[in-house]
Structures are given as structure tokens and as C-alpha cells.
Amino acid sequence: MTQHDAGGSRPALRADRLGRRYGRVWGLRDCTFELPAGAVAALVGPNGAGKTTLMEMIVGLLEPTDGQVSVFGETSRAGAAQTLARVGYVAQDHPLYRDFTVADMFRLGQAMNPSWDQKLAAARIEALGIPLTRKIKKLSGGQQAQVSLTMALAKRAPLLVLDEPVSSLDPVARLEFMRDVMASAAEANLTFLISSHVVSELERICDWLIILAGGHVQLAGSADDLLEAHQLLTVPRDTQDAELPGTVIHRTDSDSPSYRHSVVLVRADVGQVAQRSRPGWQADPLTYEQLVLGYLQRQGTAATRNDPATVAQRPAPSTREFTR
């Protein structure tokens, strides 16, 4: 729109060998990816994958141990005013001051952000039917999430980073929240990076995908390209991995007595599959969720064995990122 496009073809977000170590443990390591301006990107991964660490380095809350991250061509530096002003951030559990009114929160946003758009904030909150004079603690979880998103939008930053924005919301509120995100993205040509456990929610609105597991980027790219580059094959149980086309990402062996088969997610395009295909093999259309789950299960760790789409477990309210 305005300032956002100033960079022309510069990526909205670029991570280059980005890493963060907590003591002797790497929370995130060797993380490299690019996000074009206007993308709505899903950041998925199990608990402890490094999602929050990555986001905190992008928004300027945390300094990388290694590598760097840049927003519209400018390197992010933790605690630097320019970095902070370039990114709107909705932190996990959308923290707000509970005894503030909505109007107080906006006044805080205005006091602490030079480019604050009070008209946008007021109009948005009115459209949502949230009274300005109501205290935050009297709002529902969905309304609190909306106030947080409104504050991030009114900051007028070209990049928005949302950390698990819908995890505490009921299904209807999730739907409304995500619809709002999509509308804002389209309206103002904003770039979004959204983390979530709820893969199905993200599928609806995200056109870009970053899968993080074990502190590493497993996959990053446009959702359409990634879906095209992967196939889901059903093959006889005794098929060796070496016989399969491309790279095997994840394999589920079934011992059903009637038909011993395996379902395999491979990284291979249609051509490669056609070339190697044998009678009895079946290729199914791949969904976004299957792709994500395949990569998450690839790790074989305890954290990824659960279905991330339904895992409701919340990480302990964490100040760990801050402490170390």
C-alpha cells in the first residue's frame, strides 16, 4: 500500500541462519527462509519447536545468538526502536492489562507508537461491538484477542506476527478472528506470520507455510508449490523405501489382515511418481493438514506423536524466553 511496498521486491521477512541458544540448548538453529510481501504465512510445529523464539527475534524482543533476521530489508535488533516499530505483534495468550479499559489500552498504544492510527483502532473496535469503556478483564477471550489484534493493526506496521492467536478461543471466535485477519491482510496489503497448533484453521487463510520442528525449519514455501511437490501414496506393505519416488518424508505401515499396505508421504512431483509407479500403487490428493502432519511426525519425537491439530495442551505460561 504505502510504506510497505517501498522495498519493491525485497522480502517482507528474511531469516538467515538464524539461531538462538538458551544456555547450552539451542531453541532454534540454522533457520533460513524468506517471506514475500503480502504473504499470509502459517508457522506450525509442536510445542518447543522454537516458534515463539523465532517470533520474538523477528519482533525485536530477543537478540539472535547466531545469524540474523531482517524485516523489509532492515536487520532486526532486539530492543531497537526501529525494529519494534516495523512489526505488529500479538503475543501468546494476547496479553493486555486486565484493569485497563479498552480506551486505556488504545491510549497506551498511542503513547508508545509514533505511527498509531487511532481512527483505525476506534472504527475496528466499534465494528466488533466492543465498548471502549469496558475493562479488559470483563471481555471474553475472543474480544481480548480482537483488542490485541486491533492494537497490532493500529500500530500501522507492514508486518504482523501473531503467536497462537486463536488457541484460547472457542471455534466460532476462531473463525471470526481468522476471517478478520484475512480481511485486514487483503485490505491493507499486510504480511502476516501466524503460529498455531490448529492446522485446519490456518489452512483456510494461509498461502505460505513454514514447518518448524526440533529447532529447525523442516519446510518453507508457498502452500501451493509445497502441495504440488509432495504426493501421498498408498503402496503394498513390502515396498522398500528405495523403490519409492523422491524422498520419503513419512511412512505409516498398516497391518490390516485384508490388505497389508503403507501410506507414504513423499517429496516428489507428479512426473516422478508417474515414472516410478507400479500396479497396485495409488496416489491420493494431498491436503494441507496431511502435509503438515507428515513433516511433524517425521521427527518421531514424543512431542510430535500426538496429532498437532487436536493437541490442546498448552505450554506453561512461559517467561523462559525472557529469562535466559
Partner 1 sequence: MIWVTWRQHRGQALCCLALLAALAVYAIIEGTSMRSAFSSDGLTGPCLARTQGTGCEGAVGAFMGEFGTVVNIAFWSVALIVPGLIGVVVGAPLIARELEYGTWRLAWSQSVPRARWVSVKLALVTGGLIVLGAALTAVITWYRAPMDQLTGRLQNNVFDFEGLVPTAYILCAFGFAVLAGLLIRRSIPAMIAAFVPWLAIRLVIEFDFRARFLAPLTGAMSPRCTSQAGCGWGFGQVPQATGRIADLVLGAKPGNLVIYQPADRFWPFQFIEAGIFVGLAAVALGATIWLLHRRAA
Q: Smaller CB distance to partner 1: residue 279 or 317?
A: 317
Minimum Å gap between C-beta 260 and partner 1 is 50
Total residues at interface with partner 1 (CB under 8 A)? 37
Q: Is 185 in the site for partner 1 (CB under 8 A)?
A: no
Minimum Å gap between C-beta 161 and partner 1 is 9
Q: Smaller CB distance to partner 1: residue 6 or 81?
A: 81
Mark residues 63-102: x for contact with partner 1 by CB under 8 A, - for none: x--------------xxxx--xx-x-x-xxx-xxxx-x--
Tell me how long the chain is. 324
Residue 212's CB is within 10 A of a number of other CB atoms, namely: 25
When binding is defined by CB under 8 A, the residue of 129, 278, 302, 322 that contacts partner 1 is: 322
246: left (phi over 0), alpha (psi -120 to 50) or beta: left
d(CA 20, CA 57): 9
Q: Smaller CB distance to partner 1: residue 156 or 250?
A: 156
Q: Is 125 in the site for partner 1 (CB under 8 A)?
A: no
Q: Do residues 195 and 162 lie in contact, with contact meaning Cβ atoms separated by under 8 Å? A: yes
Which amino acid makes up residue 262? S
Q: Which three cell numbers stand for residue 320?
A: 523462559
d(CA 257, CA 293): 26
Q: Smaller CB distance to partner 1: residue 86 or 230?
A: 86
d(CA 50, CA 71): 19
Rounded to 10°, the helix 118-127/102-112 angle is 160
Minimum Å gap between C-beta 130 and partner 1 is 17
When binding is defined by CB under 8 A, the residue of 129, 271, 279, 317 that contacts partner 1 is: 317
* Alpha helices per DSSP H over 155-190: 171-188
Q: Is 104 in the site for partner 1 (CB under 8 A)?
A: yes
Positions of E strands within 47-178: 66-71, 74-75, 87-90, 159-163
d(CA 187, CA 38): 10
Q: Smaller CB distance to partner 1: residue 95 or 280?
A: 95
Restricted to residues 250-269, the positions that interact with partner 1 (CB under 8 A) are: none
Mark residues 33-62: x for contact with partner 1 by CB under 8 A, - for none: -----------------------x--xxxx
Q: Write the DSSP string, 15-59.
A: EEEEEEEETTEEEEEEEEEEE-TT-EEEEE--TTSSHHHHHHHHH
The site for partner 1 (CB under 8 A) is made up of 56, 59-63, 78-81, 84-85, 87, 89, 91-93, 95-98, 100, 104, 107-109, 111-115, 148, 155, 317, 319, 322-323
